[in-house]
């Protein structure tokens, strides 16, 4: 069984192993508070034992639904924003063909996402594509009133009704929402949509192992069983409070906090595989929304190397020394390709002939790490054996647990997001939403 490994050799010039050991008691207290639900935000800790609590009957129900829809649709439009789409997007992008949009035949419906923006061109172009496709919708929202997904669902529901008829549309729409309340729950029950529940004690950014992630991923043909199995393995591994160094989430959280206390205010998540781009986007939301409070928190950024070495590489190498890197390395790629010999050798690349592309990539990664370490950029290395659903489940739960620990080390509630409401209040006031008359008057006076 392959397992995630954490390598800290490239941070010890900045933070010693001895100084990390001093975090052991604080981290142990944080883990205990998470599992016993005694810390801040304890109402939103349903994710902590989620992998091991996913029932066989639940997975079977999701798989049966996926099997039924597979025969009826070519495209599944997943409507959601933030944690309601990023987890599924991260997994689907990691395991989809990089050029699937150009491939004629696909065994499972292709996942397309909507409701994650308010782009008029985006939605218009999506409707243009869907005009000639058989499609279904998974709409994800606890309330059903979040602006971006609610707009997208209103438009797409009308479009789908016109395609299949009002009487049949219920066979093509799945609602994932609150168990009892909210606009989407009311609509789902009235219209007879198949529905799944978002647990009330699981926030969006921790929800990938609930129906929020599992339902669209299963319909898209990805192994949700392996995803859950990998997360379950990491759940067991990160419960450990008896040996600090054997708990990777604990060590990672402590390392981040130690670097933060040394003035490293920005963490850059680095990947050398373009398939992991949306894992980075998921990670950015997880840590940004969890830690950025009360004037505290590490700013989460992301880069795709080697691509971004030609844009952000200069700043990372020689800019302000306020950052550190966490590198995700995949040991073995899924495919094999070597550099060919060329008689003319005009590009002077014959010295690489016969080498695998991945070997070149790995040497670029090693060379970059050495350069950045010499430039005073500490590096944390996370390694997985290969890119599959099992390892993705491991790494996602690893980050979730580390994020909870990190929040408690900072002394904040890592499970709320009060700052998100600020822009919404201004937007509603500017749009003159009923009930915001006072706010509308105030904000227009500012303009």
Of 5, 10, 11, nearest to 383 by C-alpha is 5
Strand partners of residue 332: 386
Instruction: Tokens for 215, please give them.
Output: 């339902």
Helix ranges restricted to H, 177-312: 183-191, 211-219, 224-237, 248-261, 277-291
Give the residue carrying structure tokens 């991923």: 217
Q: Which residues pair with 271 in a beta bridge?
A: 304, 328
Name the strands in the sheet holding 75-79, side by side, starting at the edge strand that comes first in the sequence: 110-114, 75-79, 135-140, 173-177, 194-197
Our answer to whether residue 424 is catalytic in this structure is yes
Catalytic residue among 18, 105, 310, 336: 310
With beta carbons less than 8 A apart as the criterion, state whether 409 and 30 touch.
Answer: yes
Nearest-angstrom CA–CA distance, 55 and 266: 39
One of 289, 291, 325, 389 is an active-site residue; which one?
A: 289
Q: What is the DSSP letter of 76?
A: E
**Longest Cα pair distance anywhere in the chain, in angstroms?**
75
Q: Environment class of residue 284 by beta-carbon count within 10 Å: exposed (0-12), middle (13-18) or buried (19+)?
A: middle
Q: Is 294 left (phi over 0), alpha (psi -120 to 50) or beta?
A: left
Q: Which residues pair with 269 in a beta bridge?
A: 302, 326
Q: Look at residues 216, 214, 232, 234 and name the one whose alpha carbon lies nearest to residue 224.
A: 214
Contacts (Cβ under 8 Å, ≥6 apart) of 415? 40, 41, 43, 44, 45, 203, 206, 290, 404, 407
**Cα–Cα dist 269/231, whole Å:** 20
Round to whole Å and give the CA distance between 365 and 308: 12
Structure tokens at 59: 């997975």
Are 148 and 120 contacting, i.e. CB atoms less than 8 angstroms apart? no
Element (H, E) at 397: helix 389-410
Token output for 275: 């398939």
Give the active site residue among 424, 425, 441, 444.
424
Locate the DSSP E strands across 91-197.
Answer: 110-114, 135-140, 173-177, 194-197
Q: Which residues are catalytic?
A: 289, 310, 424
């Amino acid at each position: 069984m392959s397992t995630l490994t954490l390598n800290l050799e490239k941070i010890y010039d900045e933070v010693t192993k001895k100084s990390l050991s001093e975090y052991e008691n604080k981290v142990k207290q944080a883990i205990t508070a998470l599992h016993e639900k005694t810390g801040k935000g304890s109402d939103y800790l349903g994710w902590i034992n989620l992998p091991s609590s996913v029932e066989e009957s639940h997975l079977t129900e999701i798989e049966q639904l996926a099997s039924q829809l597979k025969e009826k649709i070519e495209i599944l439009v997943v409507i959601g924003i933030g944690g309601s789409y990023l987890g599924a997007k991260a997994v689907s992008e990691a395991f989809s063909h990089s050029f699937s949009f150009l491939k004629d035949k696909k065994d499972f419906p292709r996942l397309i996402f909507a409701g994650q923006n308010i782009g008029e061109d985006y939605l218009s172009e999506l409707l243009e594509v869907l005009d000639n496709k058989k499609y279904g919708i998974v709409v994800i929202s606890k309330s059903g009133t979040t602006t971006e997904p609610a707009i997208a669902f209103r438009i797409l529901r009308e479009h789908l009704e016109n395609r299949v008829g009002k009487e049949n549309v219920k066979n093509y729409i799945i609602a994932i929402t609150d168990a009892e309340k909210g606009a989407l729950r009311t609509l789902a029950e009235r219209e007879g949509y198949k529905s799944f529940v978002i647990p009330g004690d699981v926030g969006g950014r921790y929800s990938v192992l609930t129906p929020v992630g599992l339902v669209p991923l299963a319909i898209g043909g990805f192994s949700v069983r392996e995803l859950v199995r990998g997360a379950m393995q990491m759940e067991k591994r990160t419960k450990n409070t008896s040996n600090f160094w054997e708990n990777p989430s604990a060590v990672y959280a402590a390392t981040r906090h130690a670097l933060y206390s040394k003035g490293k205010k920005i963490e850059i998540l680095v990947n050398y595989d373009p398939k992991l781009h949306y894992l980075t986007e998921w990670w950015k939301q997880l840590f940004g929304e969890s830690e950025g409070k009360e004037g505290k928190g590490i700013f989460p950024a992301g880069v795709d190397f080697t691509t971004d070495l030609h844009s952000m590489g200069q700043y990372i190498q020689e800019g302000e020394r306020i950052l550190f890197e966490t590198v995700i390395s995949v040991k073995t790629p899924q495919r094999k390709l070597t550099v060919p010999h060329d008689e003319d050798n005009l590009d002077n690349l014959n010295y690489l002939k016969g080498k695998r592309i991945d070997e070149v990539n790995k040497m670029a990664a090693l060379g970059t790490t050495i350069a950045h370490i010499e430039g005073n950029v500490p590096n944390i290395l996370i390694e997985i054996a290969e890119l599959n659903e099992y390892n993705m489940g491991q790494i996602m739960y690893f980050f979730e647990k580390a994020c909870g620990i990190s929040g408690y080390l900072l002394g904040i509630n890592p499970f709320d997001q009060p700052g998100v409401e600020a822009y919404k209040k201004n937007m509603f006031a500017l749009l003159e939403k009923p009930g915001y008359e006072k706010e509308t008057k105030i904000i227009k006076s500012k303009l």
